[in-house]
Amino acid sequence: MIKGSAIVYEGLDGYIYVNKPLSGAGLLREGLMIITDSRSGQLCEFDSVRLTDISTGSNAGALVLGKFLPYANITK
């Protein structure tokens, strides 16, 4: 996570992707984990994900994912 801004994912294809949520990005901070409930097995634009506080297990909000933008290929 990039505090208050974006989420960075490592894809199975060797790329790193950056996602700037459409809503809720201001909630992103250290100490949170992202909980997904994807029925397709992959995350997509407009999916909603929950944030949970790592230390307490309590709900810390939710956000709506934006586009997944390729940032770098880490296999090269």
**What's the domain count of the chain?**
1
Q: How far apart are CA 21 and CA 14, in angstroms?
A: 22
Backbone angles phi, psi at 26, to 5 degrees: -65, -15
The answer as to whether 20 is a domain residue is yes
The answer as to whether 1 is a domain residue is no
pLDDT attached to residue 41 = 78
Write out the chain's pLDDT in tens, 76 residues: 999 999 999 988 889 999 999 999 999 999 999 999 877 778 899 999 999 999 999 999 999 999 999 988 877 6
pLDDT attached to residue 38 = 77
- The residue range of the domain holding 62 is 7-73
pLDDT attached to residue 51 = 97
